Amino acid sequence: MSFRTRLCDLLDIEYPVIQGGMAWLATSSLAAAVSEAGGLGVVGAGNAPPEVVQKEIREVKERTARPFGVNVMLLSPYVKEVMEVVLRERVPVVTTGAGNPGIYLPALKEVGCKVIPVVPGVSLARRLERQGVDAVIAEGTESGGHIGETSTMALVPQVVDAVRIPVIAAGGIADGRGIVAALALGASGVQMGTRFVVSKECPAHPNYKAMIIKAGDHDTVVTGRVTGHPVRVIKNRLAREMLRLEAEGISAEEFEKLGTGKYPLAAIHGDVEQGSVLSGQIAGMIKAEESVANIFSDLVRDVEKTLKELALFLDGQRER
């Protein structure tokens, strides 16, 4: 079965599934596996220095001949240098997060790089379409990490109605039902993060993966609203402490000091109580670590099953 959309043609991929560019977690190993499975693998630059991003890009190129992307986190202190690496390495696709990539667009387009920014709302989507981006990712507040305010269910159809370029739905999607729901909202594809964190090819510490597997539907919280950059994480000792200090009126500067170094502490060193365990609300659905190839075969089977059930419903042969 195939469920090709215009996103597949745009990116030259088999399935309209993009992997989230998670800082520390979206390495060459994960990105190459996703691209090899027929989706778009993405290296997450996060706050990494340009030499590290360059090394990861070269490793992806060694592991797969298929298209891949780099996610540029626009609040990174190295954003300019990372963009230079992306241009030099002729990376086929750039996704961006945590800001407006407008000033980098002319240079990226000049080398033929496809640019797909994350947008938290309609106005930025419209503005970026006018500036020539190739697609947008409408990321709902269900997502892990730095988030906007609007839910995927409300955001995606509003962005779809506002632009003509393909819209990719993100936030709260981890299986075939979620993919079909996104297509029903008018999206041309999905971006998934949390499910790929719990894959064999993702280098997240085993404690990090175990925490997502153990999590239920109510186990994420949003910290850092005081900084203007809210982040969804699994509720652990650090998150509780952060929420308590925020309720007591901690300043943005003090909060940011408290957060420094907390992503790698959990993701790499496995301290999932004192570190930040970034995860989407869909964590409760993820039950086991799997290979990326298995995740893709499961997604494809599940999309087909869901579409068949909907067709039976339409024919009056199934109740809803």
Torsion-angle region of residue 187: left (phi > 0), alpha (psi -120 to 50) or beta? Answer: beta
- Phi, psi (5° rounding) for residue 308? -65, -40
Distance CA 104, CA 133 (A): 11
First CA to last CA distance, the chain:
24
Which residue, 125 or 299, is less far from ligand TUI as judged by CB? 125
* Encoded tokens for 39: 């989706």
CB of 286 to ligand TUI, least distance (A): 18
Residues that bind ligand TUI (CB under 6 A): 23, 73, 75, 97-100, 118, 120, 124, 139, 145-148, 229, 231
CB of 107 to ligand TUI, least distance (A): 19
CB of 120 to ligand TUI, least distance (A): 4
CB of 203 to ligand TUI, least distance (A): 17
CB of 29 to ligand TUI, least distance (A): 20
CB of 100 to ligand TUI, least distance (A): 4
Using the CB atoms, write b or e for 234-265: b if 16+ within 10 Å. Answer: bebebbeebbebbeeebeeeebeebbeebbbb
CB contact set of 25 (below 8 Å; sequence gap of 6+): 44, 197, 202, 203, 204, 267
- SS3 label, residue 305: helix
Which residue, 5 or 100, is less far from ligand TUI as judged by CB? 100
> Closest CB to ligand TUI belongs to which residue?
145
Question: Hey, which residues does 308 pair with through a beta bridge?
Answer: none
Which residue, 120 or 275, is less far from ligand TUI as judged by CB? 120
User: Are 35 and 41 in contact, with CB atoms under 8 Å apart?
Assistant: yes
Which residue, 170 or 295, is less far from ligand TUI as judged by CB? 170
Which residue, 68 or 263, is less far from ligand TUI as judged by CB? 263
Which residue, 75 or 103, is less far from ligand TUI as judged by CB? 75
